[in-house]
Amino acid sequence: MEAQLIQQFGMSFIDISSYVGLTAAGVMTLNLVVGLLLSVQYSPVARWPYRRIPLFNIHKWSGYGALFLALLHPVWLPLAQAANFTVLAVFYPVVGPEQPIINSLGALAAYALIFVVATAYLRQRFQYAFWKKLHYASYVVILSFLVHGVFTDASLKPGTPVDFLDGGKLFIEACALICAGLIGWRITLGRKVRQAIAQEAEVQRAGIAPTWHGGLTIAKIIDVSADVKTFRLSHPGGANLPFDFRPGQYLSVRMSDGGQIITRNYSISSAPYQKDFCDITVKKLNNGRGSSYLHTKVNAGEWLECVGPRGTFTFSGSEATSLVMIAGGIGVTPLLSVLKHLAERNWPHDVYLLYAVRTPADILFYDELKSVEQRYRHFKLLILPTDIDGFAWTGPHGLIDPKHVTGFVPHINHRRVHLCGPEPMMDATIAILRGLGVPDAQIYTEFFGSSGEVDSDDHAIDATVVFTKSGKSCFVPAGKTLLDAAEEAGALIESSCRTGACGTCKVKLVAGQVKMHRDDSLTDRDVREQFILACQARSMTSEIQLEA
């Protein structure tokens, strides 16, 4: 067979093995370049080449390709008459006839690459920090394989010196220099580069921060259900919106009802890529002044006074490698914005939505959710009605319980979770997640009133907040947390979970009154000494002073 191959193509099995090895070296070098870019959170959209490039997919598939080529590389050697390689020597090169140590480095690279690809494929089964340590085996792979490539005699003939100026060797040597330089760069400068990119992203987010204030025209009012309407807002001049927003943020809407100003916060349910409009979706309650006003007293063509966008309950795709969303009723609206954003980008990671409703008749955006499910293969949807009496519902139903969660989302304790909905539903679900081992730091929440108002409170009012230590101050609209206010004003208040569970954002209230949705992590002494949780506190008086 080899004789015919040489006669027809001038190529032996050793030559094929060499070409496959060279290709594997090139693919491994590409994989390392992309992997290091991902490790510093490099964004090709925000930076050169200013194009949407699927770095994660390139990294993943180049890893699979490198593994295939690395395993294919030695397969030809037992077939080559000149090599005298046995099948055993392929798996255990120490017993090989030539350069056993150098060839063993190649085998080590292949075995380490199997480990790297397998653990990457199963990464959701590990804690992220532990998996990251396992992934450092990638350096063993690339270094072993390149040393093997540089110092191996391509002909495998006894006594033949290595020709370091051969074309194939020059290619391997170039790959080795590139990889050594990149690894050195990552070790010495990578952390600084990552911090700089993160700071730049923070500056960009601050530029999107809620400083805009003006009027938006109600372009259309869409009946979502009998008591839920979507209000499509656009720029009065017909141009794009005068602000950008992140998926999951909300608008503060100010309404004048009987001479009294009402401020309510409503999540944006449309996606950021829809630049010419944004949607807010509101459920009407008889005792909800803001929702009743919007449902009964405004019409298409009128305008609303808005401030925003606001809120930190956001997810753009760079924060984690999977996302679990759990919504209750109208609380699905900010998650719908996130879902649209991820689907439009074809975000290459698992996205789960567990949507709890009272009855099948209360499902909002059903057709839209099913449409996204059909076209976005990474998205998985579970709708969970509590009561199905009188409905032809054959799927799962009942209150959210641990079996529903674990049956729908594998390894949830290793995933980022976003929750939003009515407060009783939130409390019950948080307890379930903690029981399943989900750390508080992985749980992000947004509380919703029954009318779809974000963190709404009829008694919360606009306020001026003064941070006594930093000397900074800012205006805070009704319903906005003091932690959000501090971050926008540049006053330092440490924070972590943002759910009121960890106590990291504890700060002393010097003057004024606030209301908190929860204060679980405050001791009796903290309460007596006027400490509050900034992530939960809203202003109840027009002037607030915090020791920050």
Decide which of 105 and 46 is more confident. Answer: 105
Distance CA 392, CA 523 (A): 49
- Residues 292-311: what's their mean pLDDT? 87
158 and 236 in a single domain? The answer is: no
> Residue 536 has what pLDDT?
83
> Residue 291 has what pLDDT?
86
Q: Which of the listed residues 285, 310, 335 is the one where a domain comes to its end?
A: 310
264 and 391 in a single domain? The answer is: no
404 and 344 in a single domain? The answer is: yes
**pLDDT at residue 227 tops 60:** yes
216 and 278 in a single domain? The answer is: yes
For residue 198, give both structure tokens.
């993160």
Instruction: Output DSSP code: residue 160.
Output: P
Distance CA 133, CA 416 (A): 20
> Residue 422 has what pLDDT?
85
106 and 194 in a single domain? The answer is: yes
Residue 477: name the closest of 297, 253, 320 by CA.
253
- The alpha-helical segments, DSSP class H, found in 122-189 are 128-135, 137-151, 167-188
Cβ-contact 258, 427 below 8 angstroms: no
**Would the pTM count as exceeding 0.75?**
no
Does residue 27 lie in a domain region? yes
Does residue 457 lie in a domain region? no
Distance CA 500, CA 517 (A): 8
- B/e letters for 500-537, b = 16+ CB within 10 Å, e = fewer, are bbbbbbbbebeebebebbbbebbeeebeeeebbbbbbb
400 and 264 in a single domain? The answer is: no
For residue 24, give both structure tokens.
């594997």
104 and 253 in a single domain? The answer is: no
For residue 447, give both structure tokens.
């509380």
**No. of H helices and E strands in the chain?**
16, 18
CATH at residue 530: 3.10.20.30
Q: What separation in angstroms does the CA of 455 have from each of 167, 272, 289, 480?
A: 66, 22, 15, 8
> Residue 64 has what pLDDT?
95
> Residue 50 has what pLDDT?
55
For residue 105, give both structure tokens.
């480095």
Q: Which of the listed residues 263, 281, 310 is the one where a domain comes to its end?
A: 310
190 and 331 in a single domain? The answer is: no
Segments forming the whole domain that contains residue 301: 212-310
Q: What single string gives the DSSP state of each residue in 319-358? A: S-SEEEEEEEGGGHHHHHHHHHHHHHHT-SSEEEEEEEES
Does residue 317 lie in a domain region? no
Decide which of 273 and 191 is more confident. Answer: 273
**pLDDT at residue 456 tops 50:** no
Does residue 295 lie in a domain region? yes
Cis ω for the linkage preceding 309 (within 30 of 0): yes
- Residues 344-368: what's their mean pLDDT? 93
Distance CA 134, CA 126 (A): 10
Q: Which of the listed residues 172, 199, 226 is the one where a domain comes to its end?
A: 199
97 and 11 in a single domain? The answer is: yes
Residue 324: name the closest of 419, 224, 424, 205 by CA.
419
374 and 300 in a single domain? The answer is: no
Q: What single string gives the DSSP state of each residue in 357-399? A: ESSGGG--SHHHHHHHHHH-TTEEEEEEES--TTS---S--SS
155 and 20 in a single domain? The answer is: yes
Q: Please, what is the average pLDDT of the chain?
A: 85
Percent of the chain with pLDDT over 90: 43
**Structural domains in the chain (count):** 4
- The alpha-helical segments, DSSP class H, found in 53-136 are 55-72, 87-91, 100-121, 128-135
**pLDDT at residue 207 tops 50:** no
Distance CA 250, CA 445 (A): 14
Q: How confident is the model at residue 429 (pLDDT cuts 50, 70, 90)?
A: very high
For residue 107, give both structure tokens.
């085998």
The structure tokens 């971050």 sit at 487
- Residues 477-491: what's their mean pLDDT? 78
Distance CA 418, CA 125 (A): 19
* Three-class SS state of 422: coil
> Residue 317 has what pLDDT?
87
Q: How far does CA 316 lie from the centroid of its chain? A: 6
CATH at residue 237: 2.40.30.10
> Residue 458 has what pLDDT?
42
Q: Give the strands of the sheet with 416-421, arranged side by side.
A: 379-385, 350-357, 322-328, 416-421, 443-447
CATH at residue 362: 3.40.50.80
Does residue 108 lie in a domain region? yes
Residue 333: name the closest of 436, 452, 205, 447 by CA.
452
User: Among the listed ranges 220-224, 284-288, 481-485, 498-502, which one has the minimum average pLDDT value?
Assistant: 498-502
Cβ-contact 80, 13 below 8 angstroms: yes
Does residue 456 lie in a domain region? no
Residue 162: name the closest of 207, 107, 99 by CA.
99
Does residue 111 lie in a domain region? yes
169 and 233 in a single domain? The answer is: no
> Residue 205 has what pLDDT?
46
Does residue 414 lie in a domain region? yes
